[in-house]
Chains A and B, each alone.
Chain A
Amino acid sequence: MKNFFILLSVFLFIFNKAHSLIEVDITRGNLDPLPIAVSPLHVDVKSEKYENIKIKNLGEDISKIIEKNFKGTGLFNPLKKEAFVQKPDIAHLKPRFEDWRLIKAQALVTGKILIKDGKLKVEFRLWDLTAAKEMTALAFTTTPTNWRRVAHIISDKIYERLTGENGYFDTRIIYVSEKGPKNQRVKKLAIMDQDGANTKYLTLGNELVLTPRFNPTNQMVTYLSYFRNMPRVYLLDIETGTQEVVGNFPGMTFAPRFSPDGKKIIMSFAEDGNSDIYTMDLETRVVERITNHSSIDTSPSFSPDGKFICFNSDRSGLQQIYVMRSDGSNVKRITFGKGIYGTPVWSPRGDLIAFTKVRKGRFYIGVMRVDGTGERLLTENFYQEAPSWSPNGRVLVFYRETKSGSKGEGFSAKLWSIDITGYNERRLNTETDASDPSWSSLLSK
């Protein structure tokens, strides 16, 4: 019986202990970028020559693009290659995790490339160095001239694996390229990779082009161009180069933009001198009026589910942002702050609306929740506007102009990007001055 007594007390003791497990809440961490090592991709010795591609450097070049992409996000800190201890070929087979941990890396990218029979084969692996295990591994085959895209696709895959959201590296940005003195600007439509490479001009520059916008579902672009002083809305297929006129619209026409399914265009134009919002079905070419108000309604943008539209209007006196259902009902004003609000753009993630705000002669790019709360101004400058979302809704691209002298000297317009935390503002390199950017969806889905 004594034994039983002891057993019982032991049992109770254990039972008590199980309940008293120490719990510690961790509610804070550091916001430092994740240290990542991108080892140069190992070039297989069996690789053959291909046109003018320098195979020897290709592995290094791809890793450099990946590093540059990561650095631009502000979420990763690519470590310097001088500190790397293991050769790329061995690292790709089985990294010595201790060695990589020594240089404080938490993730490692390794890879291998091979050019054979006119095809480029690239494989890569992402390693979790603290857990000492492989996180993801993929291989691609493509034509060797596509090597830059391969680098972007690898970046996207790694970004997705490490952050949980889609990447935005294998994308392009279309913009209006500007050249010449301020009063005689030649404006062309231009497109480039999101990192500034591969610039191509799509129009000759003899007509004024404005507000190019990507279709969120494919590589079509809609833009506005003036033909004999009449605004025309064009559709341009980037892949094939074919172009068509959607329609001539009267008076001032503004900012055509695609609906989320890519089947409609939404825009504003002025009939009888009063600007309202209209949609046009691209198949049937039927134009439908959405707003009918004596004030000026412009800059419409669909929510990603297509159920709502945000736009700006001066119906309250000053230009403010409004949200309504896609049929034009239930109009609600969402901005009440001091200043003028314009160019609202709904995030592809659906959680935020980006806008331009003008207050006391200064221009701000900001974001707020879709009900107008939580306004955050990300950047302030002399003149900047036209934010456009990256396809994952994390980064905004916009353009910024500098102050010019009385004769237009010192004037420049450049593209800038900033992420929605407001950190990590950077200028995108363009060959000429640039304005009105629009970010494409991912090229490879």
Chain B
Amino acid sequence: MTKSLIYSIFFHVIMIGLTILSLPFMVRQPVDLPPIVSVELIQISDKTNIPFAPKARKIIEDTKKKEERVVSEQAPPAAKAKEKPDRIPLPNEKKEKKQIVKKKQNPEEIKPEIRQSSEFEKKEIIDTNQIAALIDKAKEQEFVKQKKNKELTQSSVKNSFASGLTLSEEDALRAQIFGCWSIPLGLPYDKDLLVRIKLQLKKDGTILKSEILDHQRMNKPGQKFYKVLAESALRAVRLCQPLKVPPTGYDKWKDMQLNFNPTEMLKG
């Protein structure tokens, strides 16, 4: 009896602990994001010049000075957040966040601030609390957006640049495989004949394992063309060994997926 009670309490405590711990863990992540802040504030000054220059040059000049200060005050926490080891920043995440912040924050944030500068005293112009609040608000929205975007972009925009290869590295690899792949010319151009091959690579670019992702389709009746194409794609990959992979970042490219689609060639 006591044993089971202890077990129960123990597990309950663990569960409660987990919820308490995991929540801030999840929330802190997005809050820690903003290397963005500095970028966005610099842009404020650029834009504010345009509408308010004739009305309140002095005020704006002052705000500029103070904004610069603000930048220097706010930047350090941002830099720290960047260095946090438990969050491994994916290049595509960073990029997306920056873009979204720019769009979102400029109109919302700049204008109220500038209105303040023209309507109230100079001191109130830099209401850091308000800025921070706005940023936080924007971040929340962004985070939701990013989540959606992630799901979308990672499946539809197959940009390996975003996930580990630079454009030139990707181009080199692609060009290499173009050269090895003899497209079977008898294939019909109007059918869906996408062959996806998953590769596991060694550090030198040779193939440890290759797998056709829809390999069940190969042996179905009426899928002769698919089989021929899949075989030609496998042949190409094997012929091309070792693949031209970057000398570094093995973890990023050791698993790779190649999508062979001959439609463009066959149509031409």
Contact A1 B163 (CB under 8 A): no
Bound Cα distance from A164 to B253, whole angstroms: 33
Give the distance to chain B from A133, nearest Cβ to Cβ, in Å: 10
A162 sits at the interface (CB 8 A):
yes
A163 contacts across to B, CB distance below 8 A = 184-187, 228
Contact A22 B186 (CB under 8 A): no
Given contacts A16-B88, A21-B255, contact A164 B261 (CB under 8 A): no
Given contacts A26-B261, A27-B261, A128-B231, contact A13 B182 (CB under 8 A): no
Contact B235 A24 (CB under 8 A): no
Bound Cα distance from A25 to B235, whole angstroms: 16
Looking at A30-38, A194-202, A258-266, the stretch in contact with chain B turns out to be A30-38
Residue of A nearest to B225 (CB): A164
Given contacts A5-B21, A31-B265, A131-B238, contact A25 B158 (CB under 8 A): yes
Contact B186 A20 (CB under 8 A): no
Contact B183 A31 (CB under 8 A): yes
Looking at B69-77, B118-126, B169-177, the stretch in contact with chain A turns out to be B169-177
B158 contacts across to A, CB distance below 8 A = 23-25
Given contacts A16-B88, A106-B239, contact A24 B259 (CB under 8 A): yes
Contact A19 B154 (CB under 8 A): yes
A8 contacts across to B, CB distance below 8 A = 22, 25
Bound Cα distance from A26 to B224, whole angstroms: 21
A394 sits at the interface (CB 8 A):
yes
Pick the contact of A24 from B229, B231, B257 — CB < 8 Å? B257
Contact B154 A106 (CB under 8 A): no
A19 contacts across to B, CB distance below 8 A = 150, 154
A288 sits at the interface (CB 8 A):
no
A75 sits at the interface (CB 8 A):
yes
Pick the contact of B181 from A24, A29, A421 — CB < 8 Å? A29
Residue of A nearest to B91 (CB): A20
B227 contacts across to A, CB distance below 8 A = 164
A9 sits at the interface (CB 8 A):
yes
Contact A351 B257 (CB under 8 A): no
Contact A24 B170 (CB under 8 A): yes
Binary flags per residue of B217-251, CB closer than 8 Å to A gives 1, else 0: 00000001101110101111011000000000001
* Residue from A9, A19, A74, A164 having most chain B Cβ neighbours under 10 A: A164
Bound Cα distance from A160 to B251, whole angstroms: 41
Q: Which of A115-146 contact B (CB under 8 A)?
A: 128, 130-131, 135
B262 sits at the interface (CB 8 A):
yes
Bound Cα distance from A394 to B186, whole angstroms: 8
Contact B170 A26 (CB under 8 A): no
B179 sits at the interface (CB 8 A):
yes
On chain B, the number of residues with a Cβ less than 8 Å from chain A's Cβ atoms is 58
Contact B257 A23 (CB under 8 A): yes
Binary flags per residue of A34-76, CB closer than 8 Å to B gives 1, else 0: 1000000000000000000000000000000000000000110
A162 contacts across to B, CB distance below 8 A = 184, 228
Give the distance to chain A from B247, nearest Cβ to Cβ, in Å: 16
Pick the contact of B258 from A24, A31, A421 — CB < 8 Å? A24
Give the distance to chain B from A129, nearest Cβ to Cβ, in Å: 9
Give the distance to chain B from A42, nearest Cβ to Cβ, in Å: 26
On chain A, the number of residues with a Cβ less than 8 Å from chain B's Cβ atoms is 39
Residue of B nearest to A25 (CB): B259
A24 contacts across to B, CB distance below 8 A = 158, 160, 165, 170, 173-174, 177, 256-259
Pick the contact of B185 from A28, A131, A421 — CB < 8 Å? A421
Pick the contact of A30 from B173, B181, B258, B264 — CB < 8 Å? B181
Bound Cα distance from A163 to B261, whole angstroms: 16
B228 contacts across to A, CB distance below 8 A = 162-164
Contact A25 B261 (CB under 8 A): yes
* Residue from B25, B86, B154, B182 having most chain A Cβ neighbours under 10 A: B182
Contact A128 B184 (CB under 8 A): no
Pick the contact of A29 from B25, B160, B262 — CB < 8 Å? B262
Bound Cα distance from A32 to B184, whole angstroms: 9
B231 contacts across to A, CB distance below 8 A = 128, 131, 135
A165 sits at the interface (CB 8 A):
yes
Contact A30 B182 (CB under 8 A): yes
A128 contacts across to B, CB distance below 8 A = 231, 235
B51 sits at the interface (CB 8 A):
no
Bound Cα distance from A131 to B150, whole angstroms: 37
Contact A26 B177 (CB under 8 A): yes
Contact B164 A22 (CB under 8 A): yes
B11 sits at the interface (CB 8 A):
no
Contact A21 B265 (CB under 8 A): no
Pick the contact of A106 from B18, B174, B182, B251 — CB < 8 Å? B182
A131 contacts across to B, CB distance below 8 A = 231, 234-235, 238
B252 sits at the interface (CB 8 A):
yes
B225 contacts across to A, CB distance below 8 A = 164-165
Bound Cα distance from A89 to B18, whole angstroms: 70
* Residue from B154, B186, B255 having most chain A Cβ neighbours under 10 A: B186
Contact A23 B234 (CB under 8 A): no
Bound Cα distance from A1 to B179, whole angstroms: 53
Given contacts A22-B253, A164-B225, A164-B227, contact A75 B259 (CB under 8 A): no
Q: What is the interface of chain A, defined by CB distance below 8 A to chain B?
A: 1, 4-5, 8-9, 13, 16-17, 19-34, 74-75, 106, 128, 130-131, 135, 160, 162-165, 351, 394, 421
Q: What is the interface of chain B, defined by CB distance below 8 A to chain A?
A: 17-18, 21-22, 25, 86, 88, 90, 150, 154, 158, 160, 162-165, 170, 173-174, 177-188, 190, 224-225, 227-229, 231, 233-236, 238-239, 251-253, 255-265
**29 A-B pairs in the complex with CB atoms less than 8 angstroms apart:** A4-B21, A8-B22, A9-B86, A20-B154, A20-B164, A21-B257, A22-B252, A23-B258, A24-B158, A24-B174, A24-B258, A24-B259, A25-B158, A26-B178, A28-B178, A29-B177, A29-B182, A30-B183, A31-B185, A74-B185, A130-B234, A130-B239, A131-B231, A131-B238, A163-B184, A163-B186, A164-B186, A164-B187, A351-B190
4 additional contacts (CB under 8 A) given A22-B165, A29-B183, A106-B239:
A17-B251, A21-B257, A22-B255, A75-B186
Query: Nearest 7 pairs between A and B by C-beta?
Result: A29-B181, A164-B228, A163-B186, A23-B158, A20-B163, A164-B225, A29-B183
